[in-house]
Amino acid sequence: QVQLQESGPGLVKPSETLSLTCTVSGGSISNYYWSWIRQPPEKGLEWIGYVYYTGSTKYNPSLESRATMSLDTSSNQFSLKVSSVTAADTAVYFCARRFTTNPKYCFDYWGQGILVTVSS
């Protein structure tokens, strides 16, 4: 059974960089797209972007080029960095696997989520 687990600081100061890691267990990181999705308190879901197992990436323009994703196949981990954070970046951050075998496209495995608060 595939499991994902987010880790990283729960508190980040304004203007600094948020850094999170997602560790994948029970399966390989290869051949899948790996995404980050966030949810501000009491609000809806926002897709941040993906990193493919080859290292290629795509981001949501709403983050205005502040997001960077990478992965480490040797440790079965992928990561997210968001620079110049503000209070608006306070959210629960989820990592998720996207299954992409036509016609089935969906986020089939998710981490439990990690709350990141931006505050001084």
Partner 1 sequence: AIQMTQSPSTLSASVGDRVTITCRASQGIRNDLGWYQQKPGKAPKVLIYAASNLQSGVPSRFSGSRSGTDFTLTISSLQPEDFATYYCLQDFDYPLTFGGGTKVEIK
Q: At its nearest, how many Å lie between partner 1 and the CB of residue 113?
A: 6
Considering the complex, state which of residue 16 and residue 66 has its C-beta at the smaller distance from partner 1.
66
Binding residue for partner 1 (CB under 8 A) from 46, 68, 81, 83? 46
Contact call for residues 33 and 54 (beta carbons, < 8 A): no
34 counts as binding partner 1 under rule CB under 8 A: no
Nearest to 49 by CA among 80, 75, 87, 83: 80
Taking CB under 8 A as the rule, does residue 1 contact partner 1? no
* Closest approach of partner 1 to the CB of residue 19, in Å: 20
- The residue count for binding partner 1 (CB under 8 A) is 24
CB 24 within 8 A of CB 74: no
b/e per residue, 47-72, with b = 16+ CB within 10 A?
A: bbbbbbeeeebebeeebeebbbbebe
Bond prior to 103 in cis (omega within 30° of 0):
yes
**Is residue 110 part of the contact set for partner 1 (CB under 8 A)?**
yes
DSSP state of 55: S
Contact pick of 5, 19, 47, 83 for partner 1 (by CB under 8 A)? 47
Residue 13 CB, nearest approach to partner 1 (Å): 26
Kindly tell me which residue out of 1, 10, 41, 61 binds partner 1, with binding defined by CB under 8 A.
Answer: 61
